[in-house]
Structure 1
Amino acid sequence: MDASENLAGEMLEVDAFRRLFPLRFYERHLLESIRPDARPLGKARDTTVALGGVAFADGSALVKTGHTTMLADIKMEIITPSVGSRDEASLAIDFHMPPICSPLIRPGRPAEVAAIISKQLTDAIVSIHSHSHVLNRQDVYCLDADGSLFDAALLSAVAAFSHLHIPAISVNDDGRVVAVSEEEVESNLVKEPFNQSTRKLKLSCMPFSLTCILHKKHILADPTGEEESVMESFVTVVLDLSGQLVSFNKPGGPVLAYTSAVQDCIALTRQRVKELQNILNDAIADMELD
Protein backbone atom coordinates (compact mmCIF):
# COMPACT_ATOMS: atom_id res chain seq x y z
CA MET A 1 0.00 0.00 0.00
CA ASP A 2 2.81 2.40 0.86
CA ALA A 3 4.48 1.77 -2.51
CA SER A 4 1.19 2.30 -4.35
CA GLU A 5 0.49 5.49 -2.46
CA ASN A 6 3.99 6.79 -3.17
CA LEU A 7 3.61 6.02 -6.87
CA ALA A 8 0.23 7.72 -7.00
CA GLY A 9 1.67 10.75 -5.23
CA GLU A 10 4.55 10.97 -7.70
CA MET A 11 2.17 10.71 -10.65
CA LEU A 12 0.09 13.57 -9.24
CA GLU A 13 3.21 15.67 -8.87
CA VAL A 14 4.28 14.96 -12.45
CA ASP A 15 0.79 15.80 -13.73
CA ALA A 16 0.74 19.03 -11.75
CA PHE A 17 4.18 20.00 -13.11
CA ARG A 18 2.98 19.21 -16.63
CA ARG A 19 -0.04 21.46 -16.26
CA LEU A 20 1.77 24.34 -14.56
CA PHE A 21 4.98 24.32 -16.61
CA PRO A 22 4.18 22.52 -19.89
CA LEU A 23 7.16 23.86 -21.85
CA ARG A 24 9.66 22.92 -19.14
CA PHE A 25 7.98 19.50 -18.92
CA TYR A 26 8.55 18.90 -22.62
CA GLU A 27 12.06 20.32 -22.64
CA ARG A 28 13.08 17.85 -19.94
CA HIS A 29 11.97 15.05 -22.26
CA LEU A 30 13.71 16.62 -25.25
CA LEU A 31 17.02 16.48 -23.39
CA GLU A 32 16.65 12.69 -23.53
CA SER A 33 15.43 12.74 -27.18
CA ILE A 34 12.13 11.21 -26.12
CA ARG A 35 8.55 12.42 -25.83
CA PRO A 36 5.99 11.95 -23.06
CA ASP A 37 4.19 9.29 -25.14
CA ALA A 38 7.53 7.40 -25.45
CA ARG A 39 7.96 8.20 -29.15
CA PRO A 40 11.37 9.14 -30.57
CA LEU A 41 11.38 12.72 -31.80
CA GLY A 42 11.24 11.82 -35.50
CA LYS A 43 8.60 9.10 -35.28
CA ALA A 44 4.94 9.61 -36.26
CA ARG A 45 2.07 8.08 -34.33
CA ASP A 46 0.53 4.76 -35.33
CA THR A 47 -1.82 5.25 -38.28
CA THR A 48 -4.71 3.17 -39.60
CA VAL A 49 -6.82 3.53 -42.76
CA ALA A 50 -10.22 1.90 -43.36
CA LEU A 51 -11.83 2.29 -46.78
CA GLY A 52 -15.58 2.42 -47.35
CA GLY A 53 -18.05 2.51 -44.52
CA VAL A 54 -20.16 5.45 -45.71
CA ALA A 55 -23.06 3.88 -47.59
CA PHE A 56 -24.29 7.02 -49.35
CA ALA A 57 -20.85 8.06 -50.64
CA ASP A 58 -19.11 7.11 -53.89
CA GLY A 59 -15.84 6.88 -51.99
CA SER A 60 -14.95 7.15 -48.32
CA ALA A 61 -12.19 6.53 -45.80
CA LEU A 62 -11.65 6.66 -42.05
CA VAL A 63 -8.16 7.59 -40.83
CA LYS A 64 -6.73 7.51 -37.31
CA THR A 65 -3.31 8.91 -36.45
CA GLY A 66 -2.90 8.55 -32.74
CA HIS A 67 -6.13 10.06 -31.42
CA THR A 68 -6.60 12.38 -34.40
CA THR A 69 -9.46 10.95 -36.46
CA MET A 70 -10.76 11.99 -39.89
CA LEU A 71 -13.66 10.75 -42.01
CA ALA A 72 -13.67 11.67 -45.70
CA ASP A 73 -16.44 11.01 -48.20
CA ILE A 74 -16.94 11.85 -51.86
CA LYS A 75 -20.24 12.45 -53.60
CA MET A 76 -20.26 12.65 -57.39
CA GLU A 77 -22.47 14.67 -59.71
CA ILE A 78 -22.45 14.43 -63.50
CA ILE A 79 -21.94 17.79 -65.22
CA THR A 80 -21.53 19.06 -68.77
CA PRO A 81 -18.50 21.34 -68.64
CA SER A 82 -18.48 24.52 -70.65
CA VAL A 83 -16.01 25.01 -73.47
CA GLY A 84 -12.62 25.97 -72.15
CA SER A 85 -13.46 25.06 -68.55
CA ARG A 86 -10.67 23.76 -66.37
CA ASP A 87 -10.65 20.52 -64.42
CA GLU A 88 -10.12 22.43 -61.20
CA ALA A 89 -13.67 23.73 -61.39
CA SER A 90 -15.03 20.22 -61.00
CA LEU A 91 -13.59 19.68 -57.53
CA ALA A 92 -14.92 21.04 -54.25
CA ILE A 93 -13.45 20.12 -50.85
CA ASP A 94 -14.78 21.23 -47.47
CA PHE A 95 -13.14 20.55 -44.12
CA HIS A 96 -15.45 20.44 -41.12
CA MET A 97 -14.65 20.70 -37.41
CA PRO A 98 -17.83 19.96 -35.45
CA PRO A 99 -17.82 20.66 -31.68
CA ILE A 100 -17.49 16.93 -31.01
CA CYS A 101 -13.88 16.99 -32.24
CA SER A 102 -12.53 19.30 -29.55
CA PRO A 103 -13.69 21.17 -26.44
CA LEU A 104 -12.11 24.27 -28.00
CA ILE A 105 -14.67 24.32 -30.83
CA ARG A 106 -17.86 26.21 -29.99
CA PRO A 107 -21.22 25.34 -31.57
CA GLY A 108 -22.32 27.75 -34.27
CA ARG A 109 -18.87 29.25 -34.74
CA PRO A 110 -16.81 27.58 -37.48
CA ALA A 111 -13.17 27.16 -36.52
CA GLU A 112 -10.87 29.52 -38.41
CA VAL A 113 -8.46 26.68 -39.11
CA ALA A 114 -11.20 24.79 -41.00
CA ALA A 115 -11.19 27.27 -43.89
CA ILE A 116 -7.39 27.19 -44.04
CA ILE A 117 -7.27 23.39 -44.18
CA SER A 118 -10.02 23.34 -46.83
CA LYS A 119 -7.85 25.54 -49.06
CA GLN A 120 -4.74 23.46 -48.40
CA LEU A 121 -6.59 20.23 -49.20
CA THR A 122 -7.93 21.65 -52.47
CA ASP A 123 -4.45 22.78 -53.52
CA ALA A 124 -2.98 19.34 -52.78
CA ILE A 125 -5.78 17.15 -54.14
CA VAL A 126 -6.41 19.07 -57.36
CA SER A 127 -3.25 17.52 -58.84
CA ILE A 128 -4.79 14.02 -58.80
CA HIS A 129 -8.20 15.02 -60.13
CA SER A 130 -8.80 14.71 -63.88
CA HIS A 131 -12.47 13.99 -64.66
CA SER A 132 -14.02 17.12 -66.16
CA HIS A 133 -17.45 15.45 -66.63
CA VAL A 134 -17.77 14.69 -62.92
CA LEU A 135 -18.19 17.15 -60.08
CA ASN A 136 -16.56 15.69 -56.99
CA ARG A 137 -17.80 17.09 -53.71
CA GLN A 138 -15.54 15.92 -50.94
CA ASP A 139 -16.21 16.48 -47.27
CA VAL A 140 -13.61 15.76 -44.61
CA TYR A 141 -14.90 15.62 -41.04
CA CYS A 142 -12.60 15.93 -38.06
CA LEU A 143 -13.95 13.55 -35.42
CA ASP A 144 -11.10 13.99 -32.95
CA ALA A 145 -8.61 16.86 -33.10
CA ASP A 146 -5.36 15.91 -31.41
CA GLY A 147 -2.72 17.55 -33.55
CA SER A 148 -1.41 17.29 -37.14
CA LEU A 149 -4.92 17.86 -38.49
CA PHE A 150 -3.88 18.58 -42.06
CA ASP A 151 -1.77 15.42 -42.31
CA ALA A 152 -4.65 13.17 -41.25
CA ALA A 153 -7.15 15.13 -43.36
CA LEU A 154 -5.01 14.83 -46.49
CA LEU A 155 -4.49 11.10 -45.93
CA SER A 156 -8.23 10.55 -45.52
CA ALA A 157 -8.96 12.60 -48.66
CA VAL A 158 -6.43 10.66 -50.75
CA ALA A 159 -7.67 7.35 -49.32
CA ALA A 160 -11.27 8.25 -50.21
CA PHE A 161 -10.19 8.92 -53.79
CA SER A 162 -8.48 5.52 -53.91
CA HIS A 163 -11.85 3.99 -52.94
CA LEU A 164 -13.78 6.09 -55.46
CA HIS A 165 -16.03 4.34 -57.99
CA ILE A 166 -16.64 6.59 -60.99
CA PRO A 167 -20.03 5.97 -62.62
CA ALA A 168 -20.41 5.05 -66.27
CA ILE A 169 -21.17 8.16 -68.32
CA SER A 170 -23.09 8.34 -71.57
CA VAL A 171 -24.94 10.89 -73.71
CA ASN A 172 -28.74 10.66 -73.83
CA ASP A 173 -30.99 11.49 -76.77
CA ASP A 174 -31.11 15.13 -75.70
CA GLY A 175 -27.34 15.41 -75.86
CA ARG A 176 -26.94 15.62 -72.08
CA VAL A 177 -24.15 13.87 -70.21
CA VAL A 178 -25.76 11.43 -67.75
CA ALA A 179 -24.75 8.61 -65.44
CA VAL A 180 -25.96 5.15 -66.42
CA SER A 181 -26.31 1.99 -64.35
CA GLU A 182 -24.51 -1.29 -64.89
CA GLU A 183 -27.82 -2.92 -65.81
CA GLU A 184 -28.46 -0.36 -68.55
CA VAL A 185 -25.00 -0.88 -69.98
CA GLU A 186 -25.22 -4.69 -69.93
CA SER A 187 -28.69 -4.65 -71.50
CA ASN A 188 -27.62 -2.24 -74.25
CA LEU A 189 -30.40 0.15 -73.21
CA VAL A 190 -28.05 3.12 -73.51
CA LYS A 191 -25.21 4.20 -75.71
CA GLU A 192 -21.84 2.72 -74.84
CA PRO A 193 -20.26 4.75 -71.99
CA PHE A 194 -17.43 6.93 -73.24
CA ASN A 195 -15.51 6.57 -69.99
CA GLN A 196 -15.63 2.78 -69.76
CA SER A 197 -11.84 2.51 -69.54
CA THR A 198 -11.36 5.39 -67.08
CA ARG A 199 -13.83 4.56 -64.32
CA LYS A 200 -11.13 3.74 -61.81
CA LEU A 201 -9.18 6.77 -60.69
CA LYS A 202 -5.45 6.16 -60.99
CA LEU A 203 -3.62 8.05 -58.29
CA SER A 204 -0.19 8.28 -59.87
CA CYS A 205 0.84 11.42 -57.96
CA MET A 206 -0.69 10.93 -54.52
CA PRO A 207 0.34 13.66 -52.09
CA PHE A 208 1.18 12.91 -48.46
CA SER A 209 2.30 15.28 -45.74
CA LEU A 210 4.10 15.46 -42.43
CA THR A 211 3.92 18.27 -39.90
CA CYS A 212 6.99 18.87 -37.73
CA ILE A 213 7.50 21.09 -34.72
CA LEU A 214 10.81 22.95 -34.55
CA HIS A 215 11.88 23.83 -31.02
CA LYS A 216 15.42 25.07 -30.57
CA LYS A 217 17.55 22.32 -32.17
CA HIS A 218 14.86 19.67 -31.93
CA ILE A 219 12.43 18.44 -34.59
CA LEU A 220 9.28 16.62 -33.47
CA ALA A 221 7.40 14.76 -36.19
CA ASP A 222 3.60 14.43 -36.15
CA PRO A 223 2.94 16.56 -33.04
CA THR A 224 -0.02 16.00 -30.75
CA GLY A 225 -2.43 18.79 -29.92
CA GLU A 226 -0.66 19.42 -26.63
CA GLU A 227 2.74 19.64 -28.33
CA GLU A 228 1.35 22.12 -30.87
CA SER A 229 -0.05 24.30 -28.09
CA VAL A 230 3.23 24.35 -26.17
CA MET A 231 5.72 24.79 -29.03
CA GLU A 232 4.40 27.19 -31.64
CA SER A 233 6.88 26.94 -34.51
CA PHE A 234 6.03 24.17 -36.97
CA VAL A 235 6.17 23.37 -40.68
CA THR A 236 4.20 21.08 -42.97
CA VAL A 237 5.88 19.36 -45.91
CA VAL A 238 3.81 17.81 -48.73
CA LEU A 239 5.52 15.34 -51.08
CA ASP A 240 4.25 13.08 -53.84
CA LEU A 241 5.10 9.38 -54.20
CA SER A 242 8.25 10.16 -56.15
CA GLY A 243 9.53 12.31 -53.31
CA GLN A 244 9.04 15.57 -55.18
CA LEU A 245 8.10 18.61 -53.12
CA VAL A 246 4.46 19.65 -53.62
CA SER A 247 4.32 22.37 -50.98
CA PHE A 248 6.08 23.67 -47.89
CA ASN A 249 4.02 25.58 -45.37
CA LYS A 250 5.18 27.49 -42.30
CA PRO A 251 2.14 29.31 -40.90
CA GLY A 252 3.80 31.25 -38.13
CA GLY A 253 6.36 31.37 -35.37
CA PRO A 254 9.95 32.62 -35.53
CA VAL A 255 12.03 32.53 -38.70
CA LEU A 256 14.00 29.32 -39.09
CA ALA A 257 17.45 29.87 -37.66
CA TYR A 258 19.12 27.09 -39.61
CA THR A 259 18.40 25.81 -43.12
CA SER A 260 19.30 22.24 -42.24
CA ALA A 261 16.00 22.05 -40.36
CA VAL A 262 14.15 22.27 -43.67
CA GLN A 263 16.23 19.46 -45.13
CA ASP A 264 15.67 17.33 -42.03
CA CYS A 265 11.91 17.87 -42.21
CA ILE A 266 11.86 16.87 -45.87
CA ALA A 267 13.90 13.75 -45.10
CA LEU A 268 11.46 12.77 -42.34
CA THR A 269 8.55 13.37 -44.72
CA ARG A 270 10.09 11.06 -47.34
CA GLN A 271 10.21 8.30 -44.73
CA ARG A 272 6.63 9.03 -43.73
CA VAL A 273 5.42 8.93 -47.35
CA LYS A 274 6.74 5.37 -47.68
CA GLU A 275 4.98 4.36 -44.47
CA LEU A 276 1.68 5.91 -45.55
CA GLN A 277 1.88 4.37 -49.02
CA ASN A 278 2.25 0.92 -47.45
CA ILE A 279 -0.61 1.57 -45.04
CA LEU A 280 -2.88 2.71 -47.88
CA ASN A 281 -1.88 -0.22 -50.09
CA ASP A 282 -2.74 -2.63 -47.26
CA ALA A 283 -6.14 -0.95 -46.85
CA ILE A 284 -6.82 -1.29 -50.59
CA ALA A 285 -5.82 -4.95 -50.51
CA ASP A 286 -8.09 -5.61 -47.54
CA MET A 287 -11.00 -3.94 -49.35
CA GLU A 288 -10.45 -6.01 -52.49
CA LEU A 289 -10.40 -9.23 -50.44
CA ASP A 290 -13.73 -8.31 -48.87
Structure 2
Amino acid sequence: MVLPDASGDVLSEMDVDAFRRLFPLRFFETHLVKSTRPDGRSLAEARETSSALGAVASADGSALVKIGSTRMLAAIKMEVMTPSKESPDEGCIAIDFHMPPICSPTVRPGRPAEAAPVVSKQLSDTISRTYIVWMLMVLFLMLLCCQQLLPFLTIPVVSMNDDGKVVVLSGDHGGKEPVNKGKRKLTLSSIPFSLTCLLHKNYILADPTAEEESVMETLVTVVLDSSGQLVSLYKPGGPVLAYTSAIQDCVALTRQRARELQTILDEVTSGMEVD
Protein backbone atom coordinates (compact mmCIF):
# COMPACT_ATOMS: atom_id res chain seq x y z
CA MET A 1 0.00 0.00 0.00
CA VAL A 2 1.33 3.44 -0.93
CA LEU A 3 0.85 6.02 1.76
CA PRO A 4 0.35 9.72 1.01
CA ASP A 5 2.58 12.44 2.40
CA ALA A 6 2.21 13.39 6.08
CA SER A 7 0.16 16.39 5.00
CA GLY A 8 -2.30 14.20 3.06
CA ASP A 9 -5.41 12.42 4.22
CA VAL A 10 -3.58 9.30 5.41
CA LEU A 11 -6.12 8.36 8.05
CA SER A 12 -8.74 7.65 5.42
CA GLU A 13 -6.42 5.23 3.56
CA MET A 14 -6.19 2.60 6.25
CA ASP A 15 -7.34 1.71 9.72
CA VAL A 16 -6.27 4.41 12.18
CA ASP A 17 -5.00 2.01 14.86
CA ALA A 18 -2.99 0.00 12.35
CA PHE A 19 -1.47 3.16 10.87
CA ARG A 20 -0.62 4.37 14.37
CA ARG A 21 1.23 1.15 15.17
CA LEU A 22 2.99 0.73 11.85
CA PHE A 23 3.97 4.34 11.18
CA PRO A 24 3.91 6.12 14.57
CA LEU A 25 5.98 9.13 13.56
CA ARG A 26 3.95 9.80 10.42
CA PHE A 27 0.77 9.32 12.45
CA PHE A 28 1.80 12.10 14.83
CA GLU A 29 3.01 14.34 12.03
CA THR A 30 -0.40 14.20 10.36
CA HIS A 31 -1.71 15.87 13.51
CA LEU A 32 1.18 18.30 13.93
CA VAL A 33 0.60 19.90 10.54
CA LYS A 34 -2.90 20.72 11.79
CA SER A 35 -1.50 22.10 15.09
CA THR A 36 -3.25 19.42 17.09
CA ARG A 37 -2.47 16.12 18.81
CA PRO A 38 -4.14 12.68 18.89
CA ASP A 39 -5.65 13.32 22.34
CA GLY A 40 -7.29 16.54 21.11
CA ARG A 41 -4.91 18.97 22.77
CA SER A 42 -3.25 21.88 21.02
CA LEU A 43 0.55 21.78 20.79
CA ALA A 44 1.00 24.20 23.70
CA GLU A 45 -1.68 22.66 25.93
CA ALA A 46 -0.75 20.60 29.00
CA ARG A 47 -2.81 17.63 30.16
CA GLU A 48 -5.66 18.11 32.61
CA THR A 49 -4.33 18.14 36.15
CA SER A 50 -5.99 17.48 39.51
CA SER A 51 -4.76 16.63 43.00
CA ALA A 52 -5.78 15.70 46.52
CA LEU A 53 -3.94 16.04 49.83
CA GLY A 54 -3.82 13.54 52.69
CA ALA A 55 -3.75 10.32 50.67
CA VAL A 56 -1.43 8.54 53.16
CA ALA A 57 -2.57 8.88 56.77
CA SER A 58 0.68 7.58 58.28
CA ALA A 59 2.85 10.18 56.53
CA ASP A 60 3.60 13.70 57.73
CA GLY A 61 2.29 14.89 54.38
CA SER A 62 1.01 13.23 51.23
CA ALA A 63 -0.61 14.07 47.92
CA LEU A 64 -2.13 12.19 45.01
CA VAL A 65 -1.75 13.98 41.67
CA LYS A 66 -3.32 13.07 38.34
CA ILE A 67 -1.98 14.49 35.08
CA GLY A 68 -3.90 13.09 32.15
CA SER A 69 -3.98 9.32 32.67
CA THR A 70 -0.85 9.39 34.83
CA ARG A 71 -1.16 9.18 38.62
CA MET A 72 1.60 9.86 41.12
CA LEU A 73 1.58 9.42 44.88
CA ALA A 74 3.98 11.35 47.12
CA ALA A 75 4.52 10.85 50.83
CA ILE A 76 6.84 12.88 53.07
CA LYS A 77 8.22 11.69 56.41
CA MET A 78 10.17 14.02 58.70
CA GLU A 79 12.92 12.54 60.84
CA VAL A 80 15.54 13.82 63.24
CA MET A 81 19.10 13.50 61.97
CA THR A 82 22.65 14.32 63.01
CA PRO A 83 24.11 17.01 60.71
CA SER A 84 27.46 16.55 59.07
CA LYS A 85 30.55 18.30 60.42
CA GLU A 86 30.92 20.15 57.12
CA SER A 87 27.35 21.56 57.28
CA PRO A 88 26.31 21.62 60.96
CA ASP A 89 23.41 24.05 60.34
CA GLU A 90 21.92 22.31 57.33
CA GLY A 91 19.38 19.53 57.00
CA CYS A 92 18.98 17.25 54.02
CA ILE A 93 16.39 15.80 51.70
CA ALA A 94 16.31 12.17 50.62
CA ILE A 95 14.25 11.19 47.59
CA ASP A 96 13.17 7.63 46.92
CA PHE A 97 11.44 7.31 43.54
CA HIS A 98 9.67 4.06 42.67
CA MET A 99 8.16 3.00 39.38
CA PRO A 100 6.77 -0.56 39.73
CA PRO A 101 6.00 -2.76 36.69
CA ILE A 102 2.28 -2.04 36.98
CA CYS A 103 3.04 1.59 36.00
CA SER A 104 4.40 0.87 32.54
CA PRO A 105 5.06 -2.06 30.18
CA THR A 106 8.63 -0.77 29.83
CA VAL A 107 9.40 -1.66 33.47
CA ARG A 108 10.35 -5.30 33.98
CA PRO A 109 9.42 -7.22 37.15
CA GLY A 110 12.34 -7.73 39.53
CA ARG A 111 14.35 -4.88 38.02
CA PRO A 112 14.21 -1.19 38.93
CA ALA A 113 13.07 1.18 36.23
CA GLU A 114 16.02 2.62 34.31
CA ALA A 115 14.53 6.09 34.64
CA ALA A 116 14.24 5.90 38.45
CA PRO A 117 17.79 7.05 39.42
CA VAL A 118 17.73 9.75 36.76
CA VAL A 119 14.38 11.09 37.99
CA SER A 120 15.54 10.95 41.62
CA LYS A 121 18.71 12.89 40.84
CA GLN A 122 16.88 15.50 38.77
CA LEU A 123 14.21 16.02 41.44
CA SER A 124 16.78 16.17 44.24
CA ASP A 125 18.82 18.82 42.42
CA THR A 126 15.74 20.89 41.61
CA ILE A 127 14.24 20.81 45.10
CA SER A 128 17.56 21.45 46.84
CA ARG A 129 17.96 24.65 44.82
CA THR A 130 14.55 26.00 45.78
CA TYR A 131 13.79 24.76 49.30
CA ILE A 132 15.37 25.31 52.70
CA VAL A 133 14.89 21.94 54.37
CA TRP A 134 15.03 20.27 57.77
CA MET A 135 15.11 16.50 57.29
CA LEU A 136 12.69 15.09 54.73
CA MET A 137 12.26 11.56 53.48
CA VAL A 138 10.29 11.94 50.25
CA LEU A 139 8.76 8.83 48.71
CA PHE A 140 7.01 8.43 45.34
CA LEU A 141 7.65 12.05 44.50
CA MET A 142 6.36 14.30 41.76
CA LEU A 143 7.37 17.95 41.79
CA LEU A 144 3.73 19.07 41.78
CA CYS A 145 3.06 16.87 44.82
CA CYS A 146 5.94 18.50 46.66
CA GLN A 147 4.63 21.97 45.84
CA GLN A 148 1.42 21.13 47.66
CA LEU A 149 2.91 19.28 50.63
CA LEU A 150 5.81 21.39 51.84
CA PRO A 151 3.89 24.60 52.66
CA PHE A 152 1.82 22.57 55.15
CA LEU A 153 4.66 20.72 56.85
CA THR A 154 5.75 21.84 60.30
CA ILE A 155 8.98 21.14 62.13
CA PRO A 156 7.92 19.21 65.26
CA VAL A 157 8.88 19.78 68.89
CA VAL A 158 11.91 17.68 69.88
CA SER A 159 13.71 16.74 73.07
CA MET A 160 16.72 14.75 74.28
CA ASN A 161 16.11 11.25 75.64
CA ASP A 162 18.13 9.52 78.35
CA ASP A 163 20.61 8.26 75.77
CA GLY A 164 21.31 11.76 74.51
CA LYS A 165 19.46 11.27 71.26
CA VAL A 166 17.03 13.79 69.81
CA VAL A 167 13.47 12.48 69.67
CA VAL A 168 10.21 13.96 68.41
CA LEU A 169 7.70 14.85 71.12
CA SER A 170 3.94 14.58 70.82
CA GLY A 171 0.89 15.48 72.88
CA ASP A 172 1.79 16.85 76.33
CA HIS A 173 5.51 16.06 75.74
CA GLY A 174 5.41 13.31 78.42
CA GLY A 175 6.98 15.62 80.97
CA LYS A 176 10.14 16.03 78.93
CA GLU A 177 11.68 19.42 78.32
CA PRO A 178 11.56 20.35 74.63
CA VAL A 179 14.68 21.60 72.93
CA ASN A 180 12.77 23.97 70.66
CA LYS A 181 9.94 26.19 71.87
CA GLY A 182 7.25 24.78 69.60
CA LYS A 183 6.27 23.71 66.13
CA ARG A 184 7.27 25.99 63.33
CA LYS A 185 6.44 26.07 59.67
CA LEU A 186 8.97 24.80 57.18
CA THR A 187 10.76 27.74 55.58
CA LEU A 188 10.45 27.82 51.82
CA SER A 189 12.69 30.07 49.77
CA SER A 190 10.61 29.50 46.65
CA ILE A 191 8.23 27.09 44.93
CA PRO A 192 9.40 25.42 41.70
CA PHE A 193 7.19 24.87 38.66
CA SER A 194 8.27 22.61 35.81
CA LEU A 195 7.22 21.67 32.31
CA THR A 196 8.65 19.16 29.87
CA CYS A 197 8.47 20.07 26.19
CA LEU A 198 9.01 17.87 23.17
CA LEU A 199 10.86 19.35 20.20
CA HIS A 200 10.31 17.92 16.72
CA LYS A 201 11.34 19.78 13.57
CA ASN A 202 9.67 23.22 13.95
CA TYR A 203 7.12 22.02 16.49
CA ILE A 204 7.10 22.33 20.28
CA LEU A 205 4.73 20.06 22.22
CA ALA A 206 4.02 20.89 25.85
CA ASP A 207 3.64 18.11 28.43
CA PRO A 208 4.11 15.14 26.05
CA THR A 209 2.64 11.70 26.66
CA ALA A 210 4.83 8.60 26.92
CA GLU A 211 3.83 7.65 23.38
CA GLU A 212 4.85 11.03 22.02
CA GLU A 213 8.18 10.81 23.87
CA SER A 214 8.89 7.37 22.39
CA VAL A 215 8.43 8.67 18.83
CA MET A 216 10.12 12.09 19.05
CA GLU A 217 13.24 12.05 21.17
CA THR A 218 14.27 15.65 21.90
CA LEU A 219 13.00 16.57 25.36
CA VAL A 220 13.59 19.74 27.35
CA THR A 221 12.46 20.15 30.96
CA VAL A 222 12.37 23.71 32.29
CA VAL A 223 12.03 24.51 36.00
CA LEU A 224 11.17 28.03 37.13
CA ASP A 225 10.77 29.40 40.63
CA SER A 226 7.69 31.26 41.82
CA SER A 227 9.15 34.56 40.60
CA GLY A 228 9.60 33.21 37.07
CA GLN A 229 13.38 32.85 37.30
CA LEU A 230 15.08 29.84 35.73
CA VAL A 231 16.05 27.17 38.28
CA SER A 232 17.22 24.41 35.95
CA LEU A 233 17.16 23.27 32.35
CA TYR A 234 17.36 19.55 31.66
CA LYS A 235 17.80 17.95 28.25
CA PRO A 236 18.41 14.17 28.27
CA GLY A 237 20.03 13.11 25.01
CA GLY A 238 18.74 13.95 21.57
CA PRO A 239 20.38 16.26 19.04
CA VAL A 240 22.13 19.47 20.08
CA LEU A 241 19.83 22.48 19.82
CA ALA A 242 21.22 24.99 17.36
CA TYR A 243 18.92 27.87 18.24
CA THR A 244 18.04 29.48 21.54
CA SER A 245 14.57 30.47 20.30
CA ALA A 246 13.27 26.96 20.98
CA ILE A 247 14.48 27.15 24.60
CA GLN A 248 12.94 30.60 24.99
CA ASP A 249 9.62 29.25 23.74
CA CYS A 250 9.86 26.38 26.24
CA VAL A 251 10.48 28.85 29.06
CA ALA A 252 7.46 30.91 27.96
CA LEU A 253 5.28 27.77 27.97
CA THR A 254 6.60 26.91 31.44
CA ARG A 255 5.59 30.33 32.75
CA GLN A 256 2.11 29.76 31.36
CA ARG A 257 1.99 26.31 32.96
CA ALA A 258 3.21 27.77 36.27
CA ARG A 259 0.21 30.08 36.37
CA GLU A 260 -2.11 27.13 35.75
CA LEU A 261 -0.45 25.05 38.47
CA GLN A 262 -0.56 27.94 40.92
CA THR A 263 -4.32 28.16 40.38
CA ILE A 264 -4.66 24.42 41.05
CA LEU A 265 -2.48 24.77 44.14
CA ASP A 266 -4.60 27.63 45.44
CA GLU A 267 -7.81 25.65 44.91
CA VAL A 268 -6.50 22.57 46.70
CA THR A 269 -5.12 24.49 49.66
CA SER A 270 -7.94 27.03 50.03
CA GLY A 271 -9.48 26.83 53.44
CA MET A 272 -6.59 24.80 54.87
CA GLU A 273 -4.65 26.26 57.75
CA VAL A 274 -0.92 26.04 58.10
CA ASP A 275 0.11 25.20 61.67
CA RMSD, Structure 1 to Structure 2 (Å): 2.4
Q: 2 CA distance for matches of 1:19 and 1:263?
A: 33
1:56-205 mapped onto 2 (5 Å cutoff): 56-85=58-87, 90-132=92-134, 135-140=135-140, 153-172=142-161, 175-184=164-173, 189-194=175-180, 196=182, 198=184, 200-205=185-190
Using the alignment, how far apart are the partners of 1:195 and 1:244 within structure 2?
35
Q: 1:158 offset after TM fit, Å?
A: 2.7
Match of 1:21 in 2: 23
Of 268-277 and 201-210, more deviation after overlay is shown by: 201-210
Deviations 1:149-192 (A, max 9, x none): xxxx21123323234243222345665432111322xx8x3335
CA contact (8 A) 1:61 1:163 kept: no
The separation in 1 between residues aligned to 2:203 and 2:212, in whole angstroms, is 13
Match for residue 6 of structure 2?
none
The CA distance in 2 between the partners of 1:175 and 1:277, in whole Å, is: 43
Deviation, 1:203, is: 3.1
Question: What are the equivalent positions in structure 2 for 1:243-258 lying under 5 Å apart?
Answer: 243-258=228-243
Give secondary structure in 2 for the equivalent of 1:36. coil
Q: What do residues 213-245 of structure 1 show as CA deviations (whole Å, max 9, x unaligned)?
A: 001100000000110011111100011100110
Question: Which residue in the other structure is 1:235 paired with?
Answer: 220
Residue in structure 1 matched with residue 195 of structure 2 by the alignment: 210
Aligned residues: 264
Alpha-carbon spacing, 1:195–1:260, altered in 2? closer, same or farther (3 Å): farther
Q: Structure 2: 5+ residue runs without aligned partners?
A: 1-10
Amino acid aligned to 2:109? P
TM-score by length of 1: 0.83
Match of 1:225 in 2: 210
Q: Distance in 1 between the 2:89 and 2:127 partners?
A: 12
CA 1:11/1:267 → structure 2, altered by over 3 Å: closer, same or farther?
same
Q: What is the alpha-carbon distance in structure 2 between the residues aligned to residue 18 and residue 66 of structure 1?
A: 20
Higher helix share: 1
Aligned partner (choices 247, 250, 257) of residue 262 of structure 1:
247
Identity fraction in percent: 59
Return 167-176 or 65-74, whichever deviates more: 167-176
- Given that residues 50 and 62 in structure 1 are in contact (C-alpha distance below 8 angstroms), is that contact kept between their aligned partners in structure 2? yes
Instruction: Give 1:196 deviation, angstroms.
Output: 2.4
Instruction: Give the TM-score normalised by structure 2.
Output: 0.87
Q: 1:10 to 1:216 in 2, by over 3 A?
A: closer
Distance change (3 Å), C-alpha of 1:17 and 1:253: same
